[in-house]
Structures are given as structure tokens and as C-alpha cells.
Structure 1
Amino acid sequence: MRAPHAPRTPARPAARAAARAARALPAAALAAALAVAGAAPAHAQGYRYWSFWEREGGAWTYATQGPGTLRPGDGDVLGFRFAVSEDSAEADQPRGEASFEAICGGTGAEPGAKRIALSVDFGEAADAPSGETPPEGRTACAVVPEDGTAAEALAAGLKPLRYGSGALLCAIAGYPRTGCGEQVSGSGRSGGAPSAGTAAGPSGDASGADSGGGPSVGLLVGAGAVAVLGAAAVRQARRRS
């Protein structure tokens, strides 16, 4: 007499279905993550503006104040650089002569006044506004009152200057003819708008909002978590089967 067959459990078909769904989950999660990442900007965005620098210890240091509030002392060297950049960490430094003796050595001291050496770098053609060519770099020895600001020194040595809204410095010695701190797409750089260390006018003001590009950390972490959960579901389904 045959032993009765053990009743078949419906668990196996259900487990197989769960395993198939679990195996599909990581792929679906990855596809979704790539789709979102692909929707992000292919190129980051930067800003075209004049950055402001101080010469300290033989090296350029990104200024922590705008020219409108900084009051340099006699013998100081200040620099300005026009370029497309994201922030102080990535801003291009002025090139060319940066020695006080070389710039102001032939200018004698005057009672009640101070001498400020200025080094201005108009940048590269790649950073210039459309239709404009950056001139050669220039230096000037500005003589201003003892309580004069960096902005006053710049006005004394490198006119004409042009200012925009918020007293943001737009042009030195007439360059560039147009534009003022505008956002530039596809530059390969990213970050916030010009802020501290930007060449601001007599008020020392400069404003802007941060922006960026590319997939966020949260997106990548979330996609990774979904993939891990999917892998765990596969293992669980295999144990059940």
C-alpha cells in the first residue's frame, strides 16, 4: 500500500515569483537612478566676475572684504582678476607683476597719503564675454588719502570703472563693455554667485545665490539603499525556495 502523498504547498510558486520580482528590483532601481542622474545638467555653471585679492607673504590671498570696505596700508599690493569661476576655492589668481617695488618703486611717499600697488589681470579669451577680447594686464600705483579704501585706489589708478546693481564692480579700465557677474552655463565649473572677495564698489556690497549641478549625494545614497534592499529580497526568496 502506497504511502499517501504529502500535500503540495503553494509556497514554491509564490517564492519563485518573489525571487523574480526581487531580482528585477535592483535593475529597476539602477535604471531609475541613472534616469534621474541623466536629467541633471551635463555641465556645471559658474559666474563671470572680478575677484579681489590681497598680497600677503609673497602670495595672493582671496580678500575677505570688498574693496569698498577694505582700507589698505601704505605699501600694500592689491589684485583683481576677471574670470569665470565658482567661489574663492576655485577662483583664478591674478597673473603678472605683484611686487610693490616694481609697481610703486618710482612713486615717492606724500604727507597724509598712502601708496597702493594695483595689479589687474583681465583674464583669458575663454572667460571673455561674447565679442570681446581681454586687454593685456595692467599695473598702477595709486596715491590716496590715508583713510582711503581699495575702491578709491582702484578709481585713482584704473578708470573708467563701471558698477552694477548692489554696487558690484562690473568693469575696470572699461573692460568688459557689457555684463556684470552673470551666470555662465556649460563652463565646467559650478558653485555660488560672487560673494566675499568679489570686487564690489564703494558700498562693498555683492550678492548672489548658490547653485550647482550633477546628481546629488541623496540621490546616489537612495539608489544604493534600494539596490541593497533588492539584494536582500533575492537572498530571502532563495532561502524560502
Structure 2
Amino acid sequence: MTALVAAVTALALTLVTAGAAQATEYRYWSFWQQDKGGAWVYATQGPSVARPDDGDVEGFRFAVSADSRSAVRPRGAADFDTICADTPARGGSKRIAVVVDFGTPGDATGGETPPKTRTACARVGSDATTADALSAVAKPLRYNSSALLCAISGYPKNGCGEPVSGKESKGEDSGGKDSGGKDSGGEDSGGEASAGERGSGTADGSGDGGGPSVGLLAGVGAIVALGAAAVWQARRRRG
């Protein structure tokens, strides 16, 4: 009986380990939106679908991450009134503050040097999407055949959402605090973002964080339940 329980436990641990090993990191542009409190939130829609309002702040960050919960936010101060101070309101259009963080050297593709973070105020039509606003201030943009955003202002020159090894994602960065003292998504000197700097939203319903998936845990639970049932049946026969 003890051997059966041990076997079930070993199988469960094997599944958990296998699930953790399947976590893959990708090098890509993540899309963020600023909430009313000035905090970055991982966007739930793609930039070609999202339609921001006048006064909104939209951000993009190039980095390596496995999912939305491990993604790092754009760095630096991002205040609409500051970014769009020289762009007055005008009827029939809207103003969108755009922040583009090109990331760290450790996240760069093929040894490229990332440009400095840029901010710009895009004046676009009242029905424009975030992609329209980005195109207005950060050309050239590059997309792949699946309409995935691959490059902003020509960066990076190559690649598009490709998986990377753990060694490739270790870079150096400097911490970031905006002028109001709020955390703005900066990373520590080792290039690893702290828990407070990583996103917690879900993009397209696919982000499940860095832990085991719900499906994996359910499978482990089913195996443990089957093992318990086998133990109960054996005891019942002996009785």
C-alpha cells in the first residue's frame, strides 16, 4: 500500500516538474495601458483593436518574458499632461500619449543596442486605434504575416516573438522611479524585474503566470484521487 502511494506521489511530482520545464520565454513587444491611478496595466486587447480615449497613455516595452504576469512594464515617467503639453485639444481628433521603451541590452536581438525610451503625443482621428497612434509617432513599424507587432521605429531589425534561452534573457538595467516616486517598471542592476515591477494582467486570456497551469494541477489532482480510490478498494477487500 505504501508503495502505491509513493508511486502516485512520484508521478504527480514528475508532472509538476515537466509543466514547469515547459515554460518558454519570448522576446517581443508587450502592450500596456495606464489606468486612472497612473499605473501600467497589461493590455487585454491588441493595439490594432484597442481604441483609447483622448487623454489616455499607451505604452510598449521590448523585453523577454514568458507571459503577461512576468512581463516588465515601460520605465520612466508617463504623464499625459507632460507628454501632450504642446498638443492642444482639437475637435474631431483625440490625443494619445505614447511611451516606447526599447528595453535593455540583455533583451536585445543579435547584439543590437536599444535606443532610449521615447515619449510622444499622437493626434489621431476620434475613432483611431492604439496602432494608429503608434504609427503616427513611431514609424517605421514592422508586422509579421500574423499581424504580430515585431518592430517599433525599426527596432529590432530582425526577429519577431521568437523563443529564447534563459541565458539570453539576463541583461543589465537601472531602477526606475517617476517624478512622483511611483514605481515605473524599472529593473534592478541584475536585469531581473522585482515582483512589483512585473505585470499582473492577462493578454487575450492567455497569461497564467509562472506557476503550474490549471490543467496540470487538475491532472495531478485526478491522479492522486485515483490512487486514494485504489487504496480504499484494497482496504475494503481485506476487511
* Higher relative contact order (Cα pairs below 8 Å, separated by 6+ residues): 1
Residues in 1 aligned to 2:207 and 2:83: alpha-carbon distance in whole angstroms: 36
When the two structures are aligned, how many residues end up with a matched partner? 202
Tell me which amino acid in the other structure corresponds to 2:86.
G
Structural mapping, 1:131-150, within 5 Å: 131-150=111-130
Query: Contact conserved, 1:26 with 1:226, CA < 8 A, in 2?
Result: no
Report the Cα distance in structure 2 between the residues aligned to 1:35 and 1:55, rounded to whole angstroms. 40
Greater alpha carbon shift after TM alignment, 86-95 vs 52-61 = 86-95
TM-score, normalising length: structure 2 = 0.65
Instruction: Tell me the residue number matched to 1:84.
Output: 64
Structure-2 change in CA distance of 1:218 and 1:181 (3 Å): same
> Contact 1:70–1:149 at 8 Å: present in 2 too?
yes
Name the counterpart of 1:51.
30
SS of the residue aligned with 1:167?
coil
Q: Determine the structure 2 residue equivalent to 1:217.
A: 217
Instruction: Indicate whether 1:167 and 2:175 are aligned.
Output: no
Is the CA contact 1:46–1:184 (under 8 Å) kept in the aligned structure 2?
Answer: yes
Matched with 1:119 is 99
1:196 paired to 2:204: yes
Matched, 1:96 2:76: yes
CA shift at 1:131, angstroms? 2.3
State the secondary structure of the residue aligned to 2:133.
helix
Residues 97 and 119, structure 1, Cα contact 8 Å, conserved in 2: no
CA distance in 1 between counterparts of 2:7 and 2:231 reads 12
Unaligned runs of 5+ in 2: 170-191, 193-201
TM-score normalised by L of structure 1: 0.65
CA RMSD of the aligned region, Å? 3.7
Give the conservation status (yes or no) of the 8 Å contact 1:43–1:185.
no
- Please say if residues 26 and 65 of structure 2, whose CA atoms lie closer than 8 Å, have aligned partners that are also in contact: yes
- The structure-2 alpha-carbon separation of the partners of 1:128 and 1:28, relative to structure 1 and needing over 3 Å to count, comes to same
For 1:42-83, what per-residue CA distance to the aligned partner results, in whole angstroms no more than 9, with x for missing partners?
Answer: 362133222222222122233333222333333221111122
Distance 1:209 1:178, change over 3 A: farther
